[in-house]
Amino acid sequence: MGLRALTLVHNVLPEYRRAIVGSLLPAMERRGMDVEIVAADEAESYPSPDDVDLVVVTGSADSVHDESLAWIDKERQYLREVMAADVPIYGICFGGQILASALGGTVRPSERPEHGFIPVETTRPDLVAEGPWMEYHYDVLDVPENVEVIARNDAGVQAFVSGPHLGVQFHPEISSECFVAWKAGFSGPKSDMSGHDVDLVAMAASIAEREKSAAADCDDLFERFLAHAGLVPSPTPVE
């Protein structure tokens, strides 16, 4: 039996829940993982941390700092239970933000929203490469002093680690199918991407142009996360 990977999605219509995981889903399935996709905003309960080997937390049209959404605090408390059980978490965009919040950090509206493929400055290129990585967010995260920031750019924190856990602000999982799911699959009042003053046609073309390399980058980052978390052997250094 392969590793059990719980994947949390947020306010996504059922028919788009696999697509929204993007190129990360085939990366997990190629490794023989048993992937369970759960809509965090609908879940009455979560799997016991004892029944999963890793948790992947994906993006959302909602904000971690939106106190009107009761499911956000419920998910944050669950992630704390997962961390207490030493189960590794991989948080992506909203997922990275709620992971930072669960660790005692904060999430707030960004003064510099980002859209498109943007490079980052990294202190751990063995884990998070400089990119460019796909960005699409309106919030920014801060982490407490005991959490190591390993990538930044002018907009703020782009990646951090805490024990086996990794949070990233960008979207390594982006693919053309995933982008379609962003546009059509998110539900709720903040899901209309046409109101974001972003050239969605140009962005779709950019994603299609980079699709192959972006999928390879996603796969590579996921393998490095697994090694960082101790779920697979670390790669042998080239001498």
3-state secondary structure 34-67: EEEEEECCCCCCCCCHHHCCEEEECCCCCCCCCC
Cβ neighbours of residue 189 closer than 8 Å, sequence gap 6 or more: none
Q: Which two tokens stand for residue 4?
A: 């059990």
Catalytic residue, candidates 10, 137, 165, 171: 171
Q: Which two tokens stand for residue 20?
A: 């929204």
- For residue 171, indicate whether it is catalytic: yes
Residues recorded for the chain:
239
The count of other CB atoms within 10 Å of the CB of residue 220 is 13
Cα 158 from Cα 147, distance rounded (Å): 13
3-state secondary structure (DSSP) of residue 95: helix
3-state secondary structure (DSSP) of residue 208: helix
Cβ neighbours of residue 119 closer than 8 Å, sequence gap 6 or more: 130, 131, 132, 133, 153
Cβ neighbours of residue 221 closer than 8 Å, sequence gap 6 or more: 127, 128, 129, 168, 172
Catalytic residue, candidates 135, 137, 173, 228: 173
Catalytic residue, candidates 10, 75, 93, 165: 93
Residue 107 to residues 79, 115, 116, 189: CA-CA distances in angstroms? Answer: 16, 18, 21, 20
- For residue 196, indicate whether it is catalytic: no
Catalytic residues: 93, 171, 173
